[in-house]
Amino acid sequence: MKDILLKINSLKKYYPVKRGFLYRIAGWIKAVDGVSLDIEKGKTLGLVGESGCGKTTLSRSILRLLEPDSGKIFFKGKDITRIPPRQMRRLRQDMQIVFQDPYSSLDPRFTVGRIVEEGLRIFNVLNKKEISEKIKELLEIVRLPRDAINRYPHEFSGGQRQRIGIARAISLDPSFLVLDEPVSSLDVSVQAQIINLLYELQERLSLSYLFITHDLNMVRCVSDDIAVMYLGRIVEKAQNIELFSSPKHPYTQALLEAMPVSDPGKKRKRPLLKGEVTMAINLPSGCRFRNRCPHAMDICSQQEPSLKEISPGHTLACHLL
């Protein structure tokens, strides 16, 4: 039986689009539109999709950095969707985030020690001496020198800054981390180092990850399960091996086909997708992917497919199956 840490049901987050002299609402951007997902304890769920599909909005809605419009969020079996701010603040010790940009996510006015200790000071979980020892321990865990404690972020490389961000995120001993494209702005060699560090921390601290990326090679390396997102909705979810060996949704197939290959002369099995991602304010009727889908049928323009289980652990939203 699965031990579910985080469960979200039909989560929605819309943004109003206002126009005209009176600034009236002319439409809605459906950034997250009825998403349901589970994340098991100690596991990594990879979330992939093109830029603008709603991955970051979903992650921040889960943490309630953005307030969802509807749906349910269950963390450790407790509904946290509408709990008051004071209770949510205590819960934030257990749910943390590592941001995409290691440059803008660190306050340049603070030393590394002040950045890492911020959460410890806010929640008042340790005394002054214990905080000092904790910071030294955290810097050692993420493989930064102890003298980094009195230095400033501009004195470090991008990879080192991301290590500072990770140290800050794990300072309160959370059980769940959102990793919002944590290596996308780093060199390839540094990416490998950060991924190895995240592996070690997951084993050492029993962490669960939501790993957001648009790099399919990366998500293949780090994830236990993978969810594919398109224009605010999950179109396919499966275990890592099954998704890569037997993708069912045309969008998933196209993403995998677009992955770089070592042999430039190798022919692709399927043609690459044509066109751009549809604007979330101007969604087509029926299936959101039908304007780019090579297999679109009449029903695709009339009815939006629902997410259904086609085999154990493999769900799909497509009229083809």
The rounded radius of gyration (Å) of the Cα atoms in the chain is 21
pLDDT the model gives residue 291: 86
pLDDT the model gives residue 290: 87
Residue reference for tokens 């972020």: 153
pLDDT the model gives residue 149: 93
Q: What is the DSSP letter of 258?
A: T
pLDDT the model gives residue 170: 95
pLDDT the model gives residue 1: 65
Is residue 12 classed exposed, middle or buried when 0-12, 13-18 and 19+ CB atoms within 10 A define those classes?
middle
- Phi, psi of 14, rounded to the nearest 5 degrees: -115, 150
User: What is the CATH superfamily name and number for domain 4-261+269-316?
Assistant: P-loop containing nucleotide triphosphate hydrolases (3.40.50.300)
Domain range summary for the chain, segments of one domain joined by +: 4-261+269-316
Q: Which tens digit of pLDDT belongs to each residue from 9-61?
A: 999 999 998 888 788 888 889 999 999 999 999 999 999 988 888 999 999 99
Cα–Cα distance, 189 to 117 (Å, whole number): 29
Q: Which amino acid is at 207?
A: L
Closest CA to 269 of 284, 282, 259: 259
Closest CA to 167 of 254, 86, 258, 98: 98
- The H or E element spanning position 244 is helix 240-245
**DSSP letter string, 204-235:** HHT-EEEEE-S-HHHHHHH-SEEEEEETTEEE
Please report how many Cα atoms fall inside a 13 Å half-sphere around the Cα of residue 175, on the Cβ side: 11
Bridge pairing between strands 233-239 and 314-316: antiparallel
Q: Are 5 and 76 in contact (CB under 8 A)?
A: yes
Q: How far is CA 100 from the centre of its chain?
A: 10
Cα–Cα distance, 199 to 74 (Å, whole number): 25
| pTM tops 0.75, yes or no | yes
Q: Which residues of the chain have pLDDT under 70?
A: 1, 262-277
pLDDT the model gives residue 19: 85
